[in-house]
Structure 1
Amino acid sequence: MAEPLHELGAFIRTQRERSALSVRKLAEQAGISNPYLSQIERGLRRPSADIVKALAGALSISAESLYQRAGWLAGDQPDDATVVDSIEADSRLTAGQRRALVEIYESFVRDNEKETKE
């Protein structure tokens, strides 16, 4: 099993490549330095929650999925990460479509959890 930092870094790199962004461009969009992003992608540095959120925004993916990859947030169901990962890994979708699908999925899950608690 991969360590969370290496898994997070590999996932960020994959999403960056799928978005056709260079390290320099993603770093610029996230407001961090190129070397720092490179270290994150290689699993050498642990980014702060704010940096993870900035990277998620620049990649048009949910911050929650990156938090789960970093081991900071457990999915409510074991399949939650799998669903979000599948959506975010689908290269047939645009970044905007992936973001919209993840938001819809997470909204449905939240609504259903509220209904079961009532």
Structure 2
Amino acid sequence: MSEPPNPLGARIRRVRRSRGLTLAQLAVAAGLTHGFLSKLERGLASPSMASLGRITVALGTSQVELLAGDERDVETTPGAPVPEAVHRAGEGPTGLYGLGRARLLTTGDRRLQPLLFEGENTDPGEFYQHAEDEFIHVTAGTVVVDRGPQGVVTLGPGDSLYLGGGTPHRWSTGGPEVYRLFIVKENPRASSLSSRPTSS
């Protein structure tokens, strides 16, 4: 089956499938209609930023990752060597990531997605939860990470946190200053290349 022509719609569809969600399940989780999401995935509709925000929370991903789909979705053959790539300072797609902003530091379907994040939100917002592991390293400021049932942990410069897949998490500033994180996530698209579902 060919992918939809719209990069954003294609990306949403692939992440949804990697999560094992049907359109109907995503519609309920995001509070949007099945018909709208179907049109969106087929490139026949465009989401508002509010709708896109709901979709990212439901998928456990971020707006910058979805919006950068046209630059990132260069498919690789399962089992083939991943080509090396150099990314210079300041390069990479940037955009919203939760309640802050981030820059992606890779392109293509690589197994890991490193990014730089910056935020100053005092409200942690909604919990994100996804099957992939995630590593967080604080480079500046103080961040309070709420891990739901696993409790709250406060991190400062030089501190790191490894979040296992399935761990609910959200974070906010632990002080008045901007905090900066280096984050490495597993790529749901790359991890599912060899077992891509074939039905909605």
Instruction: Sort the TM-score into its range (normalised by shorter chain).
Output: 0.5 to 0.7
Counterpart residue type for residue 28 of structure 1: V
Q: Which residue of 2 aligns with 1:26?
A: 26
When normalised by structure 2's length, the TM-score is: 0.39
2:186 paired with 1:108: no
Counterpart residue type for residue 9 of structure 1: G
Q: CA RMSD in A?
A: 3.3
Aligned residues: 94
Assess if the C-alpha contact under 8 Å between 2:23 and 2:37 holds in 1. Answer: yes
Identity %: 28
> Does the C-alpha gap of structure 1 residues 70 and 84 become closer, same or farther in structure 2, counting only changes over 3 Å?
closer
Assess if the C-alpha contact under 8 Å between 1:23 and 1:38 holds in 2. Answer: yes
Counterpart residue type for residue 59 of structure 1: L
| Displacement of 1:46 | 0.6
Assess if the C-alpha contact under 8 Å between 1:65 and 1:84 holds in 2. Answer: no
Distance 2:26 2:181 in 1: 27
Distance 1:52 1:78 in 2: 21
Higher relative contact order (CA 8 A, sep 6+): 1
When normalised by structure 1's length, the TM-score is: 0.63
- CA deviations on 1:28-65 (whole Å, 9 max, x unpaired) are 10110001000000111010011111111111112222
Q: Which residue of 1 aligns with 2:91?
A: 77
Distance 2:46 2:67 in 1: 12
The runs of 5 or more residues in structure 1 that have no matched partner are: 89-93, 110-118
Q: Which residue of 1 aligns with 2:12?
A: 12
**Higher normalized strand content (fraction of residues):** 2
Greater C-alpha radius of gyration = 2
The runs of 5 or more residues in structure 2 that have no matched partner are: 72-89, 94-103, 114-128, 139-179, 184-200
